[in-house]
Amino acid sequence: MGVWIVALAICMGSGCGSDPTDDAPPRDRIPATAPAPLAATPPAAASQAATSQTVAPPAAASLDAANPDARLAEMRGKVFSTSPSGEPAVSVGDLFLTDDELRRIRRLGATAAIAMPHGGNDWADAQIEGLTTQFAVMGVTVAMIANAEFNSEKQERDLLRIIARGPDALVAFPLAPAALFRKAAERDIRIVFMDMPPKGEALAHGTDYVSVVSADSAGNGQVSAHLLARRLKEKGAVGVIAHQPDFFVTHQRYLAFKSILARDYPGIGILEEIIMPGPDYYEDGRRAATALIARHPEMTGLWTPWDVPAEGAMAAARAAGRTDLAIVTIDLGFDVAMAMARGEMIAGTGAQRPFDQGVTEAMLAGYGLIGKPAPPWVVLPALPVSRRNLLRAWEIIYHRPPPPELAEAVGGDGERAP
């Protein structure tokens, strides 16, 4: 009997290249185009190809002093996030469907709904592409894709429509209260959450939901700190643009970024932190950066919790004539990637793997459809991205070649998969 696993591009170990930010598989394993989401591989080989471990941040004493590259290298293949309730992460390499399980799912003729927090950006598009690709492989029809526009009340209305339609599975980034998702579970809808469980009353793993699949938010926050320290040569004064503290994913990034600066880089101080009110996060980033630049002319660096506020911050810096600022963030959207390629302010980013995350979420929905036990918390490792590995990272994140204009902007300075 064959075994089916998610074909995910995750670097583990020393074969990832000489650049510590080049957290990619060996070159002969990087697809030039999006691969089939499932590949016939024995479970043991799957674990070796995509194994991660949950660990605490490495002790500073175990690494070379004042060396961001050494710290980034130490992070390879490790996961630093735990769930909101403290559960350790399970590797994507431990997930698989046998041939028989895949046939059972296909015979169901099941339907699924997807509830996104927002749409229209590279992260959301890649998530949806990974989800729909994997659902198609399993013979599951996607009946509805909802966009909450970062509005919990809109998602509540979306969920009521989804529940009324009655799909067999739901993959959702939860903005609405937990009680509404419990209502969906009571209608026998198998739920997989993106990034975090919903707020409110605790839901029971295995009863109310199948699993949670997340990027390594803590790991990405750490990556962003090391990349900023490398650009600033470990000395400087930085501003912080933060998201709401009760939003688990972005708060983990924020806490990890600050903890690494405090632990490893005493020469970098934080001047001021501004919390974005939302929901226009481009404009929030622009306004916050404008204020920070005006109040702190000595500022040399800036952190934002994801790429959209970073785009607003770049606009503010250009308007103020402060294109010397070093900006780090999370995610690799096209605009941030182009700025990085051109050497314009973006020093680096800790990237999520949204296509692979979508594939994993859909596969776990398949677990739920056939009653296969699933782990409560699955995490994909962070991917450090700088200009040196930008083109290779784009292919790993999106499972397609980089846009021609991005490759042209990098020129001969960047590496790319063959």
For 266-319, the pLDDT digits (tens) are 999 999 999 999 989 999 999 999 999 999 999 999 999 999 999 999 999 999
Q: Supply the pLDDT for residue 412.
A: 65
Burial class (CB in 10 A: 0-12, 13-18, 19+), 336: buried
Q: Describe the strand order of the beta sheet including 111-116 as a list of residue ranges.
A: 141-147, 111-116, 169-172, 190-194, 211-215, 377-380
Global pTM reads 0.82
C-alpha to C-alpha distance for 41 and 316, rounded to whole angstroms:
49
Q: What is the pLDDT of residue 364?
A: 98
Q: Where are the alpha helices (DSSP H) in 177-331?
A: 178-186, 217-232, 248-264, 281-295, 307-319
Provide the 3-class DSSP secondary structure of residue 275.
Answer: strand
- 22-79 pLDDT, tens digit each: 433 322 222 222 333 443 222 222 222 233 444 444 444 344 455 999 999 999 989 9
DSSP 15-62: TT-SSTT-----GGG--SSPPPSEEE--HHHHHHHS--EE-PPPPGGG
Contacts of 246 (CB under 8 A, 6+ apart): 199
Cβ–Cβ under 8 Å, residues 157 and 180: no
pLDDT of the residue at 18: 38
- Residue 326, C-beta contacts closer than 8 angstroms, at least 6 positions apart: 228, 231, 232, 236, 300, 301, 302, 345, 347
Q: Residue 153: in which H helix or E strand, if any? A: helix 152-165
Rounded distance between C-alpha atoms, residue 30 and residue 21, angstroms? 16
CA distance 54 to 301: 30
Rounded CA gap, 413 and 410, in Å? 6
For the chain, list residues with pLDDT below 70.
Answer: 1-66, 412-418
Measured between alpha carbons, how far is 298 from 344 in angstroms, rounded to an integer? 19
For the beta carbon of residue 202, count every other beta carbon within 10 angstroms.
Answer: 12
**Domain 217-351+403-413 maps to which CATH number in 3.40.50.2300, 3.90.226.10, 3.40.50.2020, 3.40.50.300?**
3.40.50.2300
Going by C-alpha positions, the residue among 170, 39, 167 that lies closest to residue 109 is 167
Contact of 244 with 275, CB cutoff 8 Å: yes
pLDDT for position 4: 38
